[in-house]
Amino acid sequence: MSPDISLQRKFVSPEIIFGAGCRHSAGNCAANFGARKVFLVSDPGVVAAGWVADVQASLERQNIAHCLFTDVSPNPRTHEVMHGSEVYRSEGCDAIVAVGGGSPMDCAKGIGIAVAHGRPITDFEGVDKLRVPSPPLILIPTTAGTSADVSQFVIISNQQEQMKFSIVSKAAVPDVSLIDPETTLSMDPFLAACTGIDALVHAIEAFVSTGHGPLTDLHALEAMRLINGNLVQMIANPQDIALREKIMLGSMQAGLAFSNAILGAVHAMSHSLGGYLDLPHGLCNASLVEHVVAFNYKAAPERFKVVAETFGIDVRGLTHVQIRNRLVQHLIEFKQAVGFRQTLGLHGVSLSDIPMLSRHAMQDPCILTNPRSSTQRDVEVVYAEAL
């Protein structure tokens, strides 16, 4: 009897080192790959916070040379990736370390891909387009949300097209992720809220995704529990390292879940929106999440019921319509508690933008695993509701 392929699930993950101070072992990790010169990717804000200096010191302890590259925008651009790949080659580097939030990490992943293939990064948009392994890649996240450090996603902004595109491949999973909660101490409350909401949406979308499985469900549910239970308190008590550790762990688990189960319409629509208006990714997610949950609920009511229960909502004796309404209300109240009150209209989106935004969202790989199959008209309606 042949196995049922539809019931099989893969699970990819980097080597993960988790805990306060683990950034100081970046040099050891690079030495394990035989690195002689590291291409160190970051951005000016992370350099100013002092985290890059810690990594530079750890490389120096191993007598590993490095070249620092900080030409990275908040939504990394195609030209920055290509410029980085040129500098990598001209400097004779043989490994990549990135320190920062999603932008430096995605830029570093893109540089590795462009270096390995010797072609423009735009050639690799889509799923499973990578054919050559990237140089050794060690990522150190300084935010608790994007999970680029554990995922097989790379999100790059194409400024000419005014859109973001996704590269999804097992070959984009980093070799090592050094997850150090201390590095999130430099996040301001807005960034903490943006990245926290992003991680929460990763967990929800992964749990209801058509690509979910028993391995991803465990991580998605624990991520929801940790983020829902601790994000508001962490933002109110920014120096509490125990709370930061819980949020960092929740973010990591959400990343492992979505990297393997993929995502849904919130992220497809958010990528389109962020590429067009150059808005923070978490803010885009926050503007859309309850509208997409309301749209998707009837396609996966039992799974959304579990989401509601995980958020502490008492669903006993309630109909699915009542559970959906309670879940939507909980998401709105949670968003407001971390400081998100704006609609898309307040961020400069108009009705006339919606057809173009929806076209781009329909081309995003994340739409393929949304629990409710969507037409462009469906996406337009949800965007309009979020105005």
pLDDT tens-place values along the chain, 387 residues long: 666 666 688 899 999 999 999 999 999 999 999 999 999 999 999 999 999 999 999 999 999 999 999 999 999 999 999 999 999 999 999 999 999 999 999 999 999 999 999 999 999 999 999 999 999 999 999 999 999 999 999 999 998 888 999 999 999 999 999 999 999 999 999 999 999 999 999 999 999 999 999 999 999 999 999 999 999 999 999 999 999 999 999 999 999 999 999 999 999 999 999 999 888 999 999 999 999 999 999 999 999 999 999 999 999 999 999 999 999 999 999 999 999 988 899 988 999 999 999 999 999 999 999 999 999 999 999 999 999
Residues 6+ apart with CB under 8 A from 378: 295, 372
Conformation bin of residue 174: beta by default, left when phi > 0, alpha when psi is -120 to 50:
beta
Domain limits, the chain: 9-184, 191-386
d(CA 52, CA 5): 45
- State the pLDDT at residue 6: 63
Tokens 């006339």, residue located: 352
First to last CA, the chain: 53
- State the pLDDT at residue 342: 84
- State the pLDDT at residue 9: 81
207 touches 264 (CB < 8 A): no
| CATH number given to 9-184 | 3.40.50.1970
- State the pLDDT at residue 36: 98
Instruction: Report pTM.
Output: 0.95
- State the pLDDT at residue 258: 97
Core vs surface per residue 322-353: b (16+ CB within 10 A) or e: ebbebbbebbeebbeebbbeeebeebebeeeb
| CATH number given to 191-386 | 1.20.1090.10
- State the pLDDT at residue 10: 85
